[in-house]
């Protein structure tokens, strides 16, 4: 693997010309994000056939799609982020991608709830090292004024992976069964891991970090959490993840159970709605951030506040729509608005963390958002659906999902609270 890094050359004061090598690196990282989201969410479209074959409850399905993944994803995120702050982020990323790809494929060999649970734990362990390392790399590949746009491109890759995963997995499951779908989707990421190891270059870290390279994790975390703007930002992303992951994991089951769509139909139409709305939204958010943040840095928090809070009534309309096609049409706009703030919000984390604490700050956010979002979000939706089922029957899932939209409004309030201290606490 080459040791030299992509370069950024200043063409004028205050302007940056990004090299072709840097854009290659951003493209590779975007492909990683594609597989990151696809392998994380692939189980969502397969919940109904897995439930039928293995005789599982909605609560068990919520644990599989949520806590089984999130517990280790959250727990190992901080030590892996500390490793990313000190060692080669490129090698770490390649190893993590290879691990979660293989574990996704092994999920297709499960014969019981316990086997499924352990396989999802393995996926969570692998994916724990992805986002902190990737975001830290982007923060060093690109100048600060282009960081939000770079991370938005990275997030767009994830949304494309989510969309393509729904389409591809739904088709494969209908044609070959849910097990074969997991084998094929999982092993597809292994060649990319090899490409990263052989071709991606480690950039020099921005700022002076040598004197703090040995800083203990608790010291770094304590320093970060003493900034109110970062505390509220972490809470906003965590509460928002509680709502969005609960919605995303259960939407395929919702369209199948409530509207009677097939796996192929769900993958094609719901996946396309997520892809079109999500990619357009996240790119627009990054573009707006490049233009608004130089005028007032608080826009990196105001934009997510508008996006998260405004998407709540749209998602509620999705669950209350009388037909699947109307629901999918509204879903395009709900996903568009929510996604427009996602990349900007994640980029904002780096504004409140020094270079040597950057991956740690990201992993801290992922720790809480994983426990609340990936861990509790899908499980609580499933548990609420089970609790409402004796009264509402199959309609219970509709109203369980409707309740989860409150979290999006709550997240918007924390973004606004963060913006009140943003100027004082900003360090980058």
Supply the mean pLDDT for the chain. Answer: 83
Please give the CATH architecture assigned to the domain spanning 18-204+214-425: Up-down Bundle (1.20)
Using left for φ > 0, alpha for ψ between -120 and 50, and beta otherwise, residue 12 falls in beta
Question: Beta-strand (E) ranges in 309-348?
Answer: none
Radius of gyration, alpha carbons of the chain: 20
Give the C-alpha separation, 346 to 301, whole Å.
10
DSSP annotation of 205 reads: P
Per-residue pLDDT tens digits for 300-311: 999 999 999 999
- Mean pLDDT, residues 268-275: 78
Task: Give the whole-angstrom CA distance, residue 184 versus residue 134.
Answer: 25
Q: Which residue has the tokens 């940056």?
A: 16
Q: Where does residue 259 rank: exposed (0-12), middle (13-18), buried (19+ CB within 10 A)? A: middle
Mean pLDDT, to the nearest integer, of 220-229?
A: 83
For residue 417, what pLDDT is reported? 94
For residue 372, is pLDDT > 80? Answer: no
> Quick check: 314 pLDDT over 90?
yes
- State the sign of the Cα–Cα–Cα–Cα dihedral 2, 3, 4, 6: positive
Identify the pLDDT of residue 147: 78
* Each residue's pLDDT tens digit, 283-301: 898 889 888 988 888 999 9
The pLDDT value given to residue 6: 46
Q: Check residue 34 and give its pLDDT.
A: 92
| The token pair that represents 350 in the structure block | 């780096």
Residues 71-93, buried b or exposed e (16+ Cβ, 10 A)? bbbbbbbbebbbbbbeeebbbbb
pLDDT of res. 236: 93
10 has a pLDDT exceeding 60: no
Highest mean pLDDT of the ranges 8-17, 128-137, 398-407:
398-407
Rounded to an integer, the average pLDDT of 253-274 is: 81
pLDDT in tens, 184-219: 988 999 999 999 999 988 888 765 444 445 667 778
Residue 247 above 80 pLDDT?
A: yes
Whether residue 156 contacts residue 287, with contact meaning beta carbons closer than 8 Å, is answered with no
Q: Is 251 left (phi over 0), alpha (psi -120 to 50) or beta?
A: alpha
Q: Give the C-alpha separation, 321 to 378, whole Å.
A: 21
Instruction: Print the SS3 string covering 269-286.
Output: HHHHHHHHHHHHHHHHHH
DSSP symbol at 393? G
Q: What is the pLDDT of residues 144-174, one digit of tens each?
A: 777 778 888 888 888 788 778 777 888 888 8
Model pLDDT, residue 193? 93
Distance CA 393, CA 350 (A): 46
Domains of the chain by residue range: 18-204+214-425
**Contacts for 260-265: CB closer than 8 Å, 24+ residues apart:** 260/324, 261/324, 262/170, 262/174, 263/45, 263/46, 263/48, 263/49, 263/169, 263/170, 263/171, 263/173, 263/174, 264/170, 264/171, 264/174, 265/170
Helix 178-187 × helix 47-54 angle, to 10°: 130
| Residue 418: predicted pLDDT | 93
């Amino acid at each position: 693997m080459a040791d030299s890094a992509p370069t950024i050359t200043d063409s004028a004061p205050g302007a940056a010309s990004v090299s072709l090598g840097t854009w290659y690196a951003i493209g590779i990282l975007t492909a990683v994000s594609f597989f990151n989201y696809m392998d994380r969410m692939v189980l969502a479209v397969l919940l109904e056939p897995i439930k039928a074959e293995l005789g599982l409850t909605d609560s068990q399905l919520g644990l599989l799609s949520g806590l089984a993944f999130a517990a280790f994803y959250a727990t190992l995120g901080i030590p892996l982020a500390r490793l990313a702050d000190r060692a080669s982020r490129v090698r770490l990323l390649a190893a993590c991608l290879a691990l979660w790809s293989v574990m996704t494929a092994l999920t297709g060999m499960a014969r019981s709830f316990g086997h499924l649970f352990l396989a999802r734990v393995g996926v969570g362990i692998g994916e724990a090292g992805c986002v902190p390392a990737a975001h830290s790399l982007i923060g060093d590949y690109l100048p600060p004024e282009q960081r939000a746009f770079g991370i938005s491109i990275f997030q767009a890759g994830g949304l494309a992976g989510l969309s393509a995963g729904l389409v591809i997995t739904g088709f494969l499951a209908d044609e070959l069964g849910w097990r074969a779908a997991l084998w094929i989707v999982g092993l597809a990421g292994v060649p990319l891991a090899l490409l990263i190891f052989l071709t991606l270059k480690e950039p020099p870290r921005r700022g002076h970090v040598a004197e703090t390279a040995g800083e203990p994790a608790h010291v770094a975390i304590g320093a970060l959490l003493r900034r109110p703007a970062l505390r509220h930002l972490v809470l906003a992303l965590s509460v928002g993840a509680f709502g969005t992951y609960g919605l995303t994991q259960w939407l395929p089951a919702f369209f199948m159970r409530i509207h009677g769509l097939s796996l192929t139909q769900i993958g094609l139409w719901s996946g396309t709605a997520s892809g079109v709305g999500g990619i357009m939204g996240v790119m627009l958010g990054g573009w707006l951030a490049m233009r608004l943040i130089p005028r007032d840095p608080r826009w990196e928090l105001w934009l997510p506040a508008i996006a998260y809070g405004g998407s709540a009534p749209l998602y509620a309309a999705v669950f209350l729509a009388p037909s699947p096609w109307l629901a999918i049409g509204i879903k395009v706009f709900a996903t568009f608005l929510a996604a427009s703030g996602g990349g900007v919000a994640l980029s904002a984390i780096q504004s409140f963390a020094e270079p040597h604490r950057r991956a740690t700050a990201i992993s801290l956010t992922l720790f809480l958002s994983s426990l609340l979002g990936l861990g509790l979000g899908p499980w609580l939706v499933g548990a609420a659906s089970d609790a409402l089922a004796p009264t509402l029957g199959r309609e219970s899932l509709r109203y369980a999902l409707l309740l989860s939209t409150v979290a999006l409004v709550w997240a918007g309030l924390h973004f606004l609270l963060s913006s009140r201290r943003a100027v004082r606490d900003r360090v980058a």
